Chains A and B, each alone.
Chain A
Amino acid sequence: MKLELGYINIKDIQFSNESKVENGTLFVNKDAIKALVLEDANIKSVDVDIARPGESVRITPVKDVIEPRVKVSGGGGMFPGVISKVDTVGSGRTHVLRGAAVVTTGKIVGFQEGIIDMTGEGAKYSPFSQTFNLVVVCQPIDGLKQHEHEHAVRMAGLKTAVYLGELAKALTPDEIETFETYSIRESVEKYPDLPKIGYIAMLQSQGLLHDTYVYGVDAKRTLTTLINPTEIMDGAIISGNCVSACDKNTTYHHLNNPVVHDLFARHGKDLIFAGMIITNENVYLADKERSSNWTAKLAEYLGLDGAIISQEGFGNPDTDLIMNCRKVEEKGIKTVIITDEYAGRDGSSQSLADAHVSANAVVTGGNANELITLPKLDKVIGDIGPVDKIAGGFDKNMNPDGSIQVELQAITGATNEMGFNCLSAR
């Protein structure tokens, strides 16, 4: 598959009577967005707001972040099986409003999570402090059940991102990046001396607020499988996971998977990017055994020399991660795992809930228990109330001056386990 991403760089976002992109500014007709979101009878009302990098604005509680994109050519449409039909995506050309993001918020459950600070200490930890954000705040109809509410907010975000992405369809990109995948036979014939490296992406799949969808299919109901890495650039994988802000993969993360980008960049240079395997993280232990067995089987089938494994989440996904690592290593395939840590406030506790000697090459996304102080900011989009009930918050964490202490857990994207974050150990 060959996919061209045409980037239209966004340097500002404004409300306007007409939605368009002009000279790097994304102009948005607020009423058009509202009308689009209110097509869903389960949404009672919606507010739309803007947050720019550097502004004294906090967005919370964050449900999902989505990058506006549009298919210009090649089969299918964005977010296949969810917004578009199920036609296979990942080829042709897709335009990207690079620098823009749709952020959804809303109190699906009383405990909340996800803070994006556009300035101050917190801004250092979220990649979305650097994007021009259109924030969609949905209020559900009275009595709406939590899973219907989650579905409504998820769809509102995706539809808004598609609406904005359409504005880029006829534009000339500022830059085009091409991604091409080859069969293993073609790659090995061309680069016989390079190691075959695969990417195993683990997808959160435990239930309400902990789900991921692949071509619209709930990942917990899937078997481990192969996917072409360009398919995810067209939204083949979307997030229904909004618990544990620091290490959940937003849809934006799936669209911009940094492991995929880096493997493409090195294909033909010091490695062959041999393929991408996606697997799930179910709660039922036999499902974990089945999925990890399948992961190792596919890795062996692809003839991999090495595999990068990224997980999503905390706790029982650590067991999936270690199972995948151990079983792939038992096939004679070297692994590197990417995870974040819950190593306690001082960083000295065991980082994961599971371990094995074969997990001896680990890249960390950071310690989610690390404590930081967020300053009082001038404006909150969403609802400040839940911040002390947030994952990563704790009782009485607000200081008299309005600053709040939170663990990194609370910051959207802070310890992302694809490595799409700002923390490192150098």
Chain B
Amino acid sequence: MEQSERRFFVSRFFIAFFRIGGKNCMGMMIVTNNERVKEKFEGEYKVNFYDVSLREILIIVRDLIHKGHKLYTHPLSGSVKPGETVFKSIIVSDAPGKFSEESLSIIENSIITCDKFGIKFPDLPDNIKADFQCIDLTLISSALGADNI
């Protein structure tokens, strides 16, 4: 490999490392039903996209936690309530480890909270859906230190 090529790959490595923002080096996985999150982050992180409801995303994350994945972001991000927004992105560890009781407690409480809110807007116009996508994207971006705003 030529020196310039070596420098290129070394610099890309450091850029990728620092883009993670010094967060836990265990590796992250984004569980999401938001296409925009998938588009933005799939090159940098493992992104598991599911075209499912917000509640289903919480259930998927709960199941991962039971398998030993650790929760890195709070499932109830944002003040737009479950049932108002349909989009949710949650970051967990990309590999299972020691079971985290705290992670389970948080996700279980989040599911209980979610069930308090019914679906408020069953026929959302596309522009409002896009806005909810945008908010979910910025919330997860700010959690990753990647909002740059």
A residues bordering B, Cβ < 8 Å? 109-111, 146-147, 204, 206-210, 220, 241, 243-244, 247-248, 282-286, 288, 313-316, 318-319, 342, 344, 349-350, 353-355, 369, 389, 391, 393-395, 409
B39-82 residues with Cβ-Cβ distance < 8 A to A are: 71-81
Bound CA–CA A419/B143 (angstroms): 29
**Residue B3 lies at the interface, judged by CB distance under 8 Å to chain A:** no
Secondary structure at the A interface, as helix, strand, loop or mixed, is: loop
B118: A residues at CB distance < 8 A: 394
A391 adjacent to B80 (CB under 8 Å): yes
B74 adjacent to A315 (CB under 8 Å): yes
A283: B residues at CB distance < 8 A: 73-74, 77-78, 139-140, 142-143
**Residue B116 lies at the interface, judged by CB distance under 8 Å to chain A:** yes
Least Cβ–Cβ distance between B87 and chain A, in angstroms: 12
B120 adjacent to A315 (CB under 8 Å): no
Least Cβ–Cβ distance between B60 and chain A, in angstroms: 18
B78: A residues at CB distance < 8 A: 206-207, 210, 243, 283, 315
B79 adjacent to A314 (CB under 8 Å): yes
Least Cβ–Cβ distance between B54 and chain A, in angstroms: 12
B132 adjacent to A316 (CB under 8 Å): no
**Residue B33 lies at the interface, judged by CB distance under 8 Å to chain A:** no
Least Cβ–Cβ distance between A247 and chain B, in angstroms: 8
Look across to chain A and name the residue whose beta carbon is closest to the beta carbon of B124.
Answer: A389
A110 adjacent to B127 (CB under 8 Å): yes
A394: B residues at CB distance < 8 A: 118, 120-121
B110: A residues at CB distance < 8 A: 315, 353
Residue of A285, A288, A344, A389 near B116 (CB, 8 A) is A344
CB-defined A-B contacts under 8 Å, sample of 13: A111-B80, A111-B128, A207-B77, A207-B141, A208-B149, A243-B135, A244-B81, A282-B143, A285-B72, A315-B81, A342-B116, A350-B113, A353-B109
**Residue B4 lies at the interface, judged by CB distance under 8 Å to chain A:** no
B80 adjacent to A395 (CB under 8 Å): no
Look across to chain B and name the residue whose beta carbon is closest to the beta carbon of A150.
Answer: B149
A288: B residues at CB distance < 8 A: 74
B93-133 residues with Cβ-Cβ distance < 8 A to A are: 106, 109-110, 112-113, 116-118, 120-125, 127-128, 130-132
Least Cβ–Cβ distance between B99 and chain A, in angstroms: 16
Bound CA–CA A350/B84 (angstroms): 19
Bound CA–CA A314/B131 (angstroms): 20
Least Cβ–Cβ distance between B70 and chain A, in angstroms: 9
**Residue B134 lies at the interface, judged by CB distance under 8 Å to chain A:** yes
Residue of B79, B113, B125, B131 near A244 (CB, 8 A) is B79
Q: A243-B79, A284-B23 are in contact. Are A110 and B125 (CB under 8 A)?
A: yes
A315 adjacent to B76 (CB under 8 Å): yes
A209: B residues at CB distance < 8 A: 135
The 9 closest A-B pairs by CB, nearest first: A315-B76, A316-B74, A110-B128, A244-B79, A109-B131, A207-B142, A208-B138, A243-B79, A394-B120
Least Cβ–Cβ distance between A75 and chain B, in angstroms: 30
B112 adjacent to A350 (CB under 8 Å): yes
A282: B residues at CB distance < 8 A: 142-143
Bound CA–CA A247/B120 (angstroms): 19
Residue of B79, B116, B143 near A313 (CB, 8 A) is B79
Residue of A111, A286, A355 near B24 (CB, 8 A) is A286
A208 adjacent to B113 (CB under 8 Å): no
A241: B residues at CB distance < 8 A: 79
Given contacts A207-B139, A210-B79, 10 further A-B contacts (CB under 8 A): A111-B131, A206-B79, A206-B142, A208-B142, A243-B79, A314-B76, A344-B116, A349-B116, A354-B106, A354-B109
